[in-house]
Amino acid sequence: MGILWTKLSETFSYFTETGQCKILLLGLDNAGKTTILYKLKLNEAVSTIPTLGFNVETVTPCKGLEFTVWDVGGQEKLRSLWNYYFQDTCGLIYVVDSNDRERYEMAREELFRVIETDEMREVPVVVLANKQDLPNSPKPDVLAEALSLQKLRDRKWFIQGTCANSGEGLYEGLNEMAKLVKDFKRTRQSW
C-alpha cells in the first residue's frame, strides 16, 4: 500500500505542478478533428462544419492536468498555417480518416512536415485512427505502417483506433496523451 500511495502522490504532484498543457489537434480535412474535440469536451456528438480557422477548448484528461486543445482546420489552404500554432506545444494528436486510403500518403507527408520542425522536436504524438466504425476501415496497425510511424524514433508515439461519433477509443487515446505529455515535460525540464 505504501509504494502504491507514493506512486499516486508523485503522479498527482507532478500534474499539479505542471497544470496546463497545449495540445495540437491536427489532420487532413474531414478526418473528424472537430467532432473528436467536442465529443471529449461535451461528451456528445455534435454536428460540425469544416473548420476554417481553429477551435480552442479545455479538456481535463485526469485530475490535476488540463489540456488546452487547439483544433486547427485541415483544408489544404490552411495546412501552411499550422506552423503558427507549434510554439509551446506539449503534444500532438493527429487524426486520420482510416477509411480514406487514397489520402494516407498525404496524411503521412503532412504529419512528417509538422514533426520535423524545430518547434515540434520530440513532441509526443498520438495518432487517432478515426472512423473505425465504417466497413473496410483497416485496423490501427495497418494505418501505422502506412503512415511510417515506426520511423518516429526521436519521440514517443501511440496509435489508437477511434470512432468520434460514439466516443469509442477517444478516452484511451487521451489518457495515453496524458502519459506521454508527463514524460515529455519531465524530459524538457532536464534540458
- For the residues of 18-49, what is the DSSP string, one character each? H-EEEEEEE-STTSSHHHHHHHHHHSS-----
Tell whether residue 33 is among the known ligand binding residues: yes
For residues 86 and 24, the answer to whether their CB atoms sit within 8 Å is: yes
Tell whether residue 39 is among the known ligand binding residues: no
Q: For helices 33-42 and 170-189, what crossing angle results, to 10°?
A: 90
Tell whether residue 133 is among the known ligand binding residues: yes
What kind and span of H or E run contains 61? Answer: strand 54-62
Tell whether residue 32 is among the known ligand binding residues: yes
Which residues, other chains included, contact 63 with Cβ-Cβ below 8 Å and sequence gap of 6+? 12, 15
Tell whether residue 97 is among the known ligand binding residues: no
For residues 120 and 84, the answer to whether their CB atoms sit within 8 Å is: no
Tell whether residue 141 is among the known ligand binding residues: no
Tell whether residue 34 is among the known ligand binding residues: yes
Say which of 75, 150, 160, 189 is annotated catalytic: 75
Residue 189 annotated as catalytic: no
Cα 190 → chain centroid? 24
- DSSP code, position 138: P
Tell whether residue 28 is among the known ligand binding residues: yes
What kind and span of H or E run contains 185? Answer: helix 170-189
Tell whether residue 165 is among the known ligand binding residues: no
Tell whether residue 88 is among the known ligand binding residues: no
Please state the residue numbers annotated as binding site.
27-34, 51, 74, 130-133
Instruction: List residues forming the annotated binding site for GTP.
Output: 27-34, 74, 130-133
Provide the annotated active-site residues: 75
Binding residues for Mg(2+): 34, 51
